[in-house]
Structure 1
Amino acid sequence: MASLLRTVTRSISRPASRIAPIRLQRHYASAATSALAGDNGTPALFPDEPTGPIIRTVIPGPKSKEAIERLSKVFDTRSLNMMANYGQSYGNYIADLDGNVLLDVYAQIASIPVGYNNPSLQLAATSPEMASAIINRPALGNFPQHDWADILETGILSVAPKGLNQVFTGQSGSDANELAYKAAFMYRRQQERGGANVEFTEAEMNSSMTNQSPGAPQLSILSFKKAFHGRLFGSLSTTRSKPIHKLDIPAFDWPQAPFPDLKYPLDEYAAENQAEEQRCLAETELLIKSWHAPPAAVVIEPIQSEGGDNHASPAFFRGLRALTKKHNVLFIVDEVQTGVGATGKFWAHEHWGLDSPPDMVTFSKKAQTAGYYFGNDDLRPNKPYRQFNTWMGDPARAILFRAIIQEIARLDLVQNTAKTGAYLYAGLQRLAEAFPNEIQHLRGKGQGTFIAWDSPRRDEVLRKAKGVGINIGGSGEKAVRLRPMLIFQEKHADLLLEGLEKVFKS
């Protein structure tokens, strides 16, 4: 054990290229860069990855088609994007079974933070600590492992949003939001009773068992049009992005407020956009005051992601925070997709300049784990087992997030994302000028690589992009969304821009 730990410690200090999987190094020997320098002398974050995409067959190729056919007999493949070979994927590049290697700017729907087969994460994954967490997975509420506090403090809580010093861990982004909603409802009712020490009445306990008031109170969560907060039962009632997510599912009668519909370019429509945001704030306040099931919380994404990459200004979010404080409604910021460095800040809401922090911030995706941060002790339920399930998160995934955090700090990846995003946005602006019918309403300036635009032939663009070696995704009805990893550099941006130009010319 001691010798293994010494080996791991020595390996961590080596450059990533030295501990990259040997099989991958051999596989990409002909395509890998030999230089350690990347953009303008900047060190390459993955010097052993391919210098560019490799296209050997149509996508999907014959081997992929065979694998897809086999899988479809036991698993629903109708949403399949491509059949991946993760053993041969590395850094910013995703491989398939036919030898095709694509520059991946979709990154598992924004959930891969520091590259495929990242050597530092491989070290964390093969550590004795990880092995114990995997094979002895604890029921954390009842039997937490002895070092759970240390894992949280050195990982998840080390990057907690300002003002939030506690966490409740969960399984997924949808789960994180539902847990936050439950906390909001319990907090609201606790306030109405007169405090955490006031016992439940017999009427409350009995009526809760028949799903009736007062035990099952008539309260709500306010969300926004085109929002996406998950597909579980409660979170789905706050999701408003596409009918396909909601059809046939009973839903709570909860309010939706309008999200600003901004005009682009922003600097040409400043007055109109300000008026639009004020309209949305006024309608939000009216719903908070008048909805028949009073909102216990307002939930919002810093950038509406799945719903079409819709933006609003920092002033809008500051106004929304002021409304929630004015009306004693909790403010939940859903950072499932925007969090962990994607926007050039570790948390996207850092761009807003809030006077007071959100009440809760939910996270998942790039964190590779999930949960919600909070700071108010009263957001803890007043009794045990009210916010509870068997796992209550996963120490293995928390250990992985800690390794991700360390890798982000080691390589200064949040700053890298801000820098690369500015470079990429400028390149896309030039493409938009050359191809105005292909890139419309370009948005995301100053938001790292969290960039999108509208395309009148979006699905065709996504399909043709694979043919030039780019894996890219969409959102909403017509948006092309970019979700590259935090290790995405200017040389990758150049490859993306070249690939897009080929698609636009086709």
Structure 2
Amino acid sequence: MASIARSSLRVRSVARLPAVRAMSTTRVLRADKPFFPEEPSGPKVVTAIPGPNNKKAAAELNEVFDVRSMNMLADYTKSVGNYIADLDGNVLLDVYAQIASIPVGYNNPHLLKAAASPQMANSLINRPALGNFPSADWASILNTGILKVAPKGLDQVFTAMAGSDANETAYKAAFMYYRQRERGGPEVEFSEEEIASTMNNQSPGSPQLSIMSFRSAFHGRLFGSLSTTRSKPIHKLDIPSFDWPQAPFPQLKYPLEEHAQENAAEEQRCLQEVERLIKEFHNPVAAVVVEPIQSEGGDNHASPAFFNGLREITKRHNVLFIVDEVQTGVGATGKFWAHDHWNLQTPPDIVTFSKKAQTAGYYYGNPALRPNKPYRQFNTWMGDPSRALIFRAIIEEIERLKLVENTAITGDYLYAGLERLSQQYPEHFQNLRGKGQGTFIAWDTPNRDEILVKAKSFGINIGGSGASAVRLRPMLIFQKHHADILLENLEKIIKQ
């Protein structure tokens, strides 16, 4: 760590870095026009990170707020585009982006304009309890924003506050649908026994049903979502959990093309276990929830064939199929929704979203998934119109700049550069994954946590997932010249 601190005292400006070998990651001046012309030409590191100003501010914050999980204190007034600034004048290329949550850059002018609009001011100072007092323009806000990019086959939305909340309410919808079907339809009234027993948390009013998730999954930290989260013990310790099943998620071997037969067998094994659990688990399975790419759990991938198999199994057993697109959605994989890569014959029953959408909720298409009575799916806010307005502006910017296409193109370029590094430094770039998945790329490396810390001294803010993975979560405005900067510095980091 001492060597990291000493090296970070030197000013680093990518524009002055020497060239590296052509077979690794030679910096090439790109002709792609920057989406943010006012961006820095590269990172700038002028102090150790954290520097004196950040340390002082962190100590002050610690008096009133738990800072033990803090990555860095940021100066958002000086952050721009792909670059995040701190309080000491350091400017880092941000390929972590608030845990995959910034889509179109810091201080994006179009979002600033939307934030300053009269419609935004009205929604902020008169925040409505949406279930009771929605604004007259709420349908318009939804139709021109959230629903404009709804996944194929899903034309309704329930808005929520955060990703965990989106999954919680999706699970509730699944349970209500399951019991409604058992009763014989939405018009059948609750029995006296159901009404009385549910007040004591007992069956039949509070039935012993379940949601199936997968080993290493992450779906949130609220009670229902936490019961489906299987990524790290620290998230779950001391918290009571529901008795719900977990199925194995495929553990693929890389490179994929060298292990096609083994990987296909592994996916088939997992699908067989999913079907067995649906048939045999003691608490009937109302829904299966899955991430297109297990993100917090280590950036674990599976093939479109696996997910098509899941869809087929859930259809056959009349179990809802919930796709958690909280981290993968809104363009990160080179398609607006990651499950678009699967080419499903029938769409998921529910798709949850948040993060890059800057709002949250779930999409659905089947009218029977709307509760049969009011107040069953309800809270005071039920989302936030101001965040929905920001998502609308994000969608407009994505469409204007063709950012999903940009992410697909840049992702291919970045993956090729990482592939070259993995061939040159195989001990540092293991199990490279995410080919054809936009910039949603990861690899495993020894001493991962040390690498993440060291990266800051080179002007790179990067994150990890699982036990040993480095995960890339750049913004949709990340371009080839940013990829050159990242690749060049990754090589320097591992060589130091």
Shift of the alpha carbon at 1:161? 0.1
Aligned to 2:176: 186
Give, in whole Å, the separation in 1 of the partners of 2:361 and 2:312. 25
2:72 matches 1:72:
no
Aligned to 1:143: 133
Give, in whole Å, the separation in 2 of the partners of 1:465 and 1:47. 25
Shift of the alpha carbon at 1:40? 4.3
1:256-292: CA deviation from partner (whole Å, max 9, x where unpaired): 0000000000000000000000000000000000000
2:117 matches 1:117:
no
In the alignment, which of 259, 280, 297 is matched to residue 270 of structure 2? 280
Give, in whole Å, the separation in 1 of the partners of 2:30 and 2:365. 43
SS at match of 1:356: coil
2:346 matches 1:356:
yes
Runs (5+) with no aligned partner, structure 1? 1-30, 32-37
In the alignment, which of 73, 94, 105 is matched to residue 84 of structure 2? 94
Give, in whole Å, the separation in 1 of the partners of 2:249 and 2:32. 40
Aligned to 2:433: 443
Give, in whole Å, the separation in 1 of the partners of 2:270 and 2:97. 33
Give, in whole Å, the separation in 2 of the partners of 1:39 and 1:416. 18
1:388-437: CA deviation from partner (whole Å, max 9, x where unpaired): 00000000000000000000000000000000000000000011111111
Tell whether the 8 Å contact from 2:32 to 2:480 is kept in structure 1 after alignment: no
Aligned to 2:47: 57
1:366-391: CA deviation from partner (whole Å, max 9, x where unpaired): 00000000000000000000000000
Structure-1-length-normalised TM-score? 0.92
Tell whether the 8 Å contact from 1:300 to 1:333 is kept in structure 2 after alignment: yes
Runs (5+) with no aligned partner, structure 2? 1-14, 16-27
SS at match of 1:182: helix
Aligned to 1:171: 161
Give, in whole Å, the separation in 1 of the partners of 2:139 and 2:105. 28
Tell whether the 8 Å contact from 2:131 to 2:381 is kept in structure 1 after alignment: yes
Give, in whole Å, the separation in 1 of the partners of 2:468 and 2:142. 40
Give, in whole Å, the separation in 1 of the partners of 2:391 and 2:292. 22
Give, in whole Å, the separation in 1 of the partners of 2:443 and 2:232. 18
Letter in 1 for 2:115: A
RMSD over aligned Cα atoms: 0.8
Shift of the alpha carbon at 1:486? 0.1
Tell whether the 8 Å contact from 1:55 to 1:101 is kept in structure 2 after alignment: yes
Give, in whole Å, the separation in 2 of the partners of 1:66 and 1:167. 44
SS at match of 2:276: helix
Shift of the alpha carbon at 1:133? 0.3
Give, in whole Å, the separation in 2 of the partners of 1:57 and 1:435. 29
SS at match of 2:315: helix
Distance 1:125 1:39, change over 3 A: farther
Letter in 2 for 1:242: K
Question: How do 1:45-444 residues align onto structure 2 when only pairs under 5 Å count?
Answer: 45-444=35-434
2:487 matches 1:497:
yes
Give, in whole Å, the separation in 2 of the partners of 1:434 and 1:317. 33
Distance 1:252 1:321, change over 3 A: same
Give, in whole Å, the separation in 2 of the partners of 1:69 and 1:300. 40
Aligned to 1:20: none
Give, in whole Å, the separation in 2 of the partners of 1:40 and 1:472. 23
Query: Relative contact order, CA 8 A, sep 6+: which one is greater?
Result: 2
Letter in 2 for 1:292: H
Give, in whole Å, the separation in 2 of the partners of 1:280 and 1:337. 23
Aligned length: 470
2:481 matches 1:481:
no
Shift of the alpha carbon at 1:42? 2.6
Tell whether the 8 Å contact from 1:177 to 1:235 is kept in structure 2 after alignment: yes
Q: Once the two structures are aligned, what percentage of the paired residues are identical?
A: 74
Letter in 2 for 1:474: G
Give, in whole Å, the separation in 2 of the partners of 1:273 and 1:331. 23
Q: Which runs of 4+ in 1 moved over 6 A?
A: none
Give, in whole Å, the separation in 1 of the partners of 2:29 and 2:136. 45
Tell whether the 8 Å contact from 1:299 to 1:331 is kept in structure 2 after alignment: yes
SS at match of 1:305: coil
Aligned to 1:12: none
Question: How do 1:462-477 residues align onto structure 2 when only pairs under 5 Å count?
Answer: 462-477=452-467
Structure-2-length-normalised TM-score? 0.94
SS at match of 2:228: coil
Letter in 1 for 2:347: P
Give, in whole Å, the separation in 2 of the partners of 1:265 and 1:248. 39
Give, in whole Å, the separation in 1 of the partners of 2:63 and 2:432. 41
SS at match of 2:351: strand
Give, in whole Å, the separation in 2 of the partners of 1:486 and 1:172. 21
Tell whether the 8 Å contact from 1:170 to 1:176 is kept in structure 2 after alignment: yes
Tell whether the 8 Å contact from 1:332 to 1:361 is kept in structure 2 after alignment: yes
Distance 1:256 1:39, change over 3 A: farther
1:51-83: CA deviation from partner (whole Å, max 9, x where unpaired): 000100000000000000000111000001011
Letter in 1 for 2:57: A
1:9-39: CA deviation from partner (whole Å, max 9, x where unpaired): xxxxxxxxxxxxxxxxxxxxxx9xxxxxx97
Tell whether the 8 Å contact from 1:39 to 1:490 is kept in structure 2 after alignment: no
